[in-house]
């Protein structure tokens, strides 16, 4: 019985010590360090937006899980910087990158359309330079040109009755 009491007491003491040794500041600092290192890697990788969003998510987790920690308070007040950016600046950077990616897609689409248009124009130019029948057709239909011995009669116009 005495042995059982000692083992139970030892377990209670160990549980208490382990429970007390988990300091919220340490956990918050660990999340901060993880986010900061991830932000440093974002500059080196092509998946910058995803890493920035993940970093911002980790910082938001830190704030929600450990709101009274000094690092959470510093992040919310803008005093703490991660990779040289405050949380607010990080959020602005994420939004800017999203807008830039959208604009890049728009420009790429426009570039593809312009290349197709240029290809069609170049094909038309080549045909005008090499196909005399096509050249004559374009001259007549689009520019109203006539041969020297030709006349145009326009029957589409209505004659006013007197």
- Each residue's pLDDT expressed in tens, for the chain with a length of 162 residues: 555 545 455 455 445 444 545 577 787 777 777 877 777 766 666 678 888 888 899 899 989 998 888 888 988 998 988 888 889 998 998 999 999 999 999 999 999 999 999 999 999 999 999 999 998 898 888 888 888 888 877 777 666 665
**Structure token digits, residue 20:** 């007390």
Could you tell me if 87 and 43 are in contact, meaning their C-beta atoms sit under 8 angstroms apart?
Answer: no
CA 15 to chain CA centroid, nearest Å? 47
Spell out the residues 6+ positions from residue 24 whose beta carbon is closer than 8 angstroms to its own: 66, 68, 69
């Amino acid at each position: 019985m005495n042995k059982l009491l000692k083992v139970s007491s030892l377990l209670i003491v160990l549980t208490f010590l382990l429970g007390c040794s988990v300091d919220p500041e340490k956990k918050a600092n660990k999340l901060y360090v993880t986010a900061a290192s991830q932000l440093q890697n974002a500059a080196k990788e092509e998946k910058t937006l995803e890493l920035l969003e993940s970093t911002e998510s980790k910082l938001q987790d830190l704030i929600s899980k450990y709101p009274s920690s000094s690092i959470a308070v510093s992040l919310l007040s803008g005093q703490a910087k991660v990779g040289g950016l405050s949380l607010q600046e990080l959020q602005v950077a994420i939004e800017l990158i999203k807008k830039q990616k959208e604009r890049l897609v728009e420009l790429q689409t426009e570039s593809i359309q312009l290349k197709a248009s240029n290809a069609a124009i170049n094909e038309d130019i080549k045909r005008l330079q090499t196909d005399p029948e096509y050249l004559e057709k374009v001259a007549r239909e689009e520019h109203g040109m006539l041969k020297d011995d030709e006349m145009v009669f326009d029957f589409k116009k209505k004659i006013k009755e007197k």
